[in-house]
Structure 1
Amino acid sequence: MTQAWCCAISGGVRLALQIQPNAKKSGVVGCYADLLKIRLHAQPIEGKANEALISYLADVLDVPKNAVNITRGHTTKRKIVEVRDSHLTVDMVRQVLLGSNVE
């Protein structure tokens, strides 16, 4: 299985995500192609799903919300997200996200 959805950047990691809004519960579904699929309980209205994604990633990765930034895909299901925290490594992020309630 490819894990190109997570790569190191200066001061953190970059994530390539496929988002499924309006799900029954939020959580990681698994890897699809070069993306990590995440379901979000929030609706894709007025940025609520983006806010939920930032909150979810900040909570799961144990970083402040302001460390999580959607850099591409604000209005689409495919998103590029950067998480800025010098303590995060690619291996750590992969382990945490793939171990957090994967369905």
Structure 2
Amino acid sequence: MKQPDLSDLAVPGTTLAVRVTPRASRNAVIRDGDSLRVTVTTVPEGGKANAAVIKLLAKALGLPKSRLELVRGETARDKLFRIAD
């Protein structure tokens, strides 16, 4: 499955609400209207799933991973990311 192009969202200061599904059958970023869903194959232990989500989102946004900040939801399925300046 081809990852969506989210470069239109890659504006500094933008916040992205993301619904995460760990232990999925494949890694994917799904754009559903205004919402984003990310599925990752990794387990939610020790921040492994968060790291996988950041890697996938950064690639889809065309940004380095260091520009994505997890603002809220470190242990929740619903997360809020901010694009750093």
Q: State the TM bucket, normalised to the shorter chain.
A: 0.7 to 0.9
Task: Measure the CA separation in 2 of the matches of 1:78 and 1:71.
Answer: 11
Task: Give the match for residue 52 of structure 2.
Answer: 52
Task: Give the match for residue 13 of structure 1.
Answer: 14
What CA RMSD, in Å, does the superposition of the two structures yield over aligned residues? Answer: 2.1
Task: Measure the CA separation in 2 of the matches of 1:41 and 1:13.
Answer: 26
Task: Give the match for residue 69 of structure 2.
Answer: 69
How far does residue 58 in structure 1 lie from its aligned partner after superposition? 1.1
* Aligned-residue identity in percent: 33
2:17 is matched by which residue type in structure 1?
A
Task: Measure the CA separation in 2 of the matches of 1:29 and 1:60.
Answer: 10
TM-score, normalised on structure 2? 0.76
1:42 is matched by which residue type in structure 2?
T
1:65 is matched by which residue type in structure 2?
K
Q: Which runs of 5+ in 1 are unaligned?
A: 1-7, 86-103
Q: Which runs of 5+ in 2 are unaligned?
A: 1-8
